[in-house]
């Protein structure tokens, strides 16, 4: 019977081809090829070098979309030029909104925690599309640049549901939301609010939230207190690498990127060009990512057999040069892979073996290609009213002088100047002379008569913007709206 599932395979750059070969050797030995057909695609450095800033060929893009699965080695991001990280591009382009990483102590991988007999075993689920990874940046003035941070309700819902669904499937009883909603009250506040809302659909799972800085401290002090943490993109990226450090490094940290239609499984460590081609690389991270792929497809028996073989091999002391006992000679990439393959059917002795099901439970059908981009929404019945605007100005005059000029300009408009801030801190009508300012001000105008909110649209604010733009250099403009009667904008520090 021919393989039933096609997987796009990208070998990657640097050590990528070597560790891919090692992992495929193990999977072939376990009989995975009976179920999977690998279709190689061209991505990474070779494509960038040909001048394609996407880092992937048109044929590779089509193949990934047809397979709806991508298994990939590490890939190099061009230094300089217009090419962006292919890893980020793939996740965003294919809507792989949840990055899932499992961090667990492994036998033979010595860490501070293994020496202290403190078990580490938890998941980080990171939102994968939004946040600062939109890469939306502008230079606003000679002294100021901006990075726009976007958090959406439907994007938050997607990653939270993925986290709770995974927790339910794995029998994880508690999920934490990591955030910085004490400072970013609207963006992280929305992420946290959607976490609490989605959690209501999973009453058997205990939920809690933790501020990101406290989470980092707690993970270092008491990693055993966490089973799953779901976080926004940037914070999740940082915490993921911190968590990898708890278990021995990125060489032992698998990664899955899951969307509604396409899933990507990859090694997240670097390409290690200094050892590329020498057969020295450690394929464990990619192998563990491959096991996540097998389980995603329902190949539960194969995944369990391979994981037990990996654990038994690590227990025996076999290791590559980047870890393990210095008293035991290290082995190369393929020797390590062959050792794991030779242990298929064995189980670890120092820790509980992974349960091996009697049969596979394949339940996977690639989704049909959507006809157009899907609009995802959470709030369908929300009323908004226009109540003012924030105008961002480049200028070097002081706050008081700026306020006097703006008050004269806006005197006959429906709006009054209510606040000026600099770098987020209020400097007018109150503030401190000790607050240092840069050449970038936010000036806030609000309706003089709040009862007119339902009568005026944003055209009045745009007219005010035009008038102010005749006198000042405008760098940005943001309408102010109330949503269901609540302000859709934040206060300044000190306001």
Return d(Cα 218, Cα 211) in angstroms, integer: 10
Check: CB of residue 272 under 8 Å from CB of residue 281: yes
**In which residue ranges of the chain is CATH 3.40.718.10 found?**
5-342
Model pLDDT, residue 283: 98
Mean pLDDT of the 430-439 span: 96
Q: How confident is the model at residue 88 (pLDDT cuts 50, 70, 90)?
A: confident
Res 1 pLDDT > 60: no
pTM over 0.75: yes
Mean pLDDT of the 195-210 span: 98
Q: How confident is the model at residue 112 (pLDDT cuts 50, 70, 90)?
A: very high
Model pLDDT, residue 168: 97
Model pLDDT, residue 83: 64
The arrangement of secondary structure in 5-342, i.e. its CATH architecture, is 3-Layer(aba) Sandwich (3.40)
Indicate the angle between helix axes 333-342 and 16-29, nearest 10 degrees. Answer: 10
**What are 118's strand-pairing partners?**
none
**In which residue ranges of the chain is CATH 3.30.70.1570 found?**
384-487
Give me the percent of the chain exceeding a pLDDT of 70.
Answer: 98
Res 388 pLDDT > 90: yes
Res 477 pLDDT > 80: yes
Which candidate, 76, 83, 88, 75, places its Cα nearest to that of 9? 75
Q: How confident is the model at residue 84 (pLDDT cuts 50, 70, 90)?
A: confident
Model pLDDT, residue 480: 95
Task: Share the mean pLDDT of the chain.
Answer: 94
Model pLDDT, residue 2: 58
Model pLDDT, residue 463: 95
Model pLDDT, residue 191: 98
pLDDT, one tens digit per residue, over 223-232 is 999 999 999 9
Mean pLDDT of the 342-359 span: 95
Res 265 pLDDT > 70: yes
Model pLDDT, residue 454: 76
Q: What is the layout of strands, in order, in the sheet containing 121-127?
A: 36-40, 5-10, 69-72, 263-267, 254-258, 98-104, 121-127, 228-231, 174-179, 206-211
Mean pLDDT of the 315-324 span: 96
Model pLDDT, residue 53: 86
Model pLDDT, residue 199: 98
Check: CB of residue 70 under 8 Å from CB of residue 265: yes
Q: Where on the phi/psi map is residue 425: left (φ > 0), alpha (ψ -120 to 50), or beta?
A: beta
pLDDT, one tens digit per residue, over 115-159 is 999 999 999 999 999 999 888 999 999 999 999 999 999 999 999
Model pLDDT, residue 81: 59
Model pLDDT, residue 354: 95
Give the contacts of 190 (CB within 8 A, at least 6 positions apart).
151, 152, 153, 156
Res 278 pLDDT > 80: yes
Give the contacts of 308 (CB within 8 A, at least 6 positions apart).
346, 347, 348, 353, 354, 356
Model pLDDT, residue 121: 97
Which candidate, 337, 288, 330, 289, places its Cα nearest to that of 313? 337
Fold of 384-487: Alpha-Beta Plaits (3.30.70)
Res 89 pLDDT > 90: no
Length of the chain equals 495
pLDDT, one tens digit per residue, over 235-245 is 999 999 999 99
Q: How confident is the model at residue 305 (pLDDT cuts 50, 70, 90)?
A: very high
Return d(Cα 317, Cα 328) in angstroms, integer: 7
Check: CB of residue 95 under 8 Å from CB of residue 261: yes
């Amino acid at each position: 019977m021919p393989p039933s599932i096609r997987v796009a395979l990208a070998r990657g750059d640097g050590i990528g081809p070597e560790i891919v070969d090692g992992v495929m050797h193990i999977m072939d030995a376990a009989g995975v090829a009976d179920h999977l057909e690998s279709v190689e695609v061209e991505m990474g450095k070779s494509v960038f070098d040909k001048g394609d800033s996407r880092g992937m060929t048109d044929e590779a893009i089509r193949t990934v979309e047809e397979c709806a699965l991508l298994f990939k080695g590490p890939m190099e991001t061009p230094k300089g030029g217009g090419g962006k990280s292919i890893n980020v591009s793939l996740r965003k382009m294919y809507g792989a909104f949840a990055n899932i990483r499992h961090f667990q102590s492994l036998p033979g991988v010595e860490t501070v925690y293994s020496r202290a007999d403190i078990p580490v075993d938890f998941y980080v689920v990171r939102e994968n599309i939004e946040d600062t990874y939109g890469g939306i940046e502008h230079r606003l003035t000679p002294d100021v640049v901006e990075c726009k941070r976007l958090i959406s309700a439907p994007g938050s819902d997607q990653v939270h549901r993925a986290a709770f669904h995974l927790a339910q499937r794995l029998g994880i009883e508690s999920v934490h939301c990591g955030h910085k909603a004490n400072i970013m009250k609207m963006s992280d506040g929305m992420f946290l609010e959607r976490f609490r809302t989605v959690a209501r659909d999973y009453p058997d799972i205990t939920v809690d939230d933790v501020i990101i800085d406290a989470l980092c401290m707690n993970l270092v002090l008491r990693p055993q207190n966490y089973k799953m943490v779901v976080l926004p993109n940037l914070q999740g990226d940082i915490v993921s690498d911190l968590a990898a450090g708890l278990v021995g490094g990125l060489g032992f940290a698998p990664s899955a990127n899951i969307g509604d239609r396409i899933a990507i499984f990859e090694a997240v460590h670097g390409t290690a060009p200094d050892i590329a081609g020498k057969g020295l690389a450690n394929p464990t991270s990619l192998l563990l990512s491959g096991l996540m792929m097998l389980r995603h497809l329902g190949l539960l028996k194969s995944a369990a057999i391979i994981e037990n073989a990996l654990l038994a091999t690590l227990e025996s002391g076999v290791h590559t040069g980047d870890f393990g006992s210095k008293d035991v000679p290290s082995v190369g990439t393929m020797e390590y892979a062959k050792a794991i393959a030779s242990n298929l059917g064995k189980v670890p002795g120092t820790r509980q073996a992974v349960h091996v099901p009697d049969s596979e439970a394949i339940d996977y059908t690639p989704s049909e290609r959507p006809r157009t981009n899907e609009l995802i929404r959470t709030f369908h019945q929300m009323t908004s009213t226009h109540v003012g605007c924030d105008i961002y100005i480049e200028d070097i005059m002081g706050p008081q002088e700026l306020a006097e000029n703006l008050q004269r300009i806006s005197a006959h408009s429906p709006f009054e100047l209510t606040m000026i801030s600099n770098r987020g801190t209020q400097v007018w009508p109150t503030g401190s002379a000790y607050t240092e300012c840069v050449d970038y001000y936010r000036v806030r105008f609000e309706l003089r008569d709040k009862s007119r909110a339902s009568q005026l649209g944003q055209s009045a604010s745009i007219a005010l913007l035009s008038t102010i733009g005749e006198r000042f250099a405008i760098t940005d403009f943001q309408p102010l709206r109330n949503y269901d009667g609540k302000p859709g904008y934040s206060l300044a520090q000190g306001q």
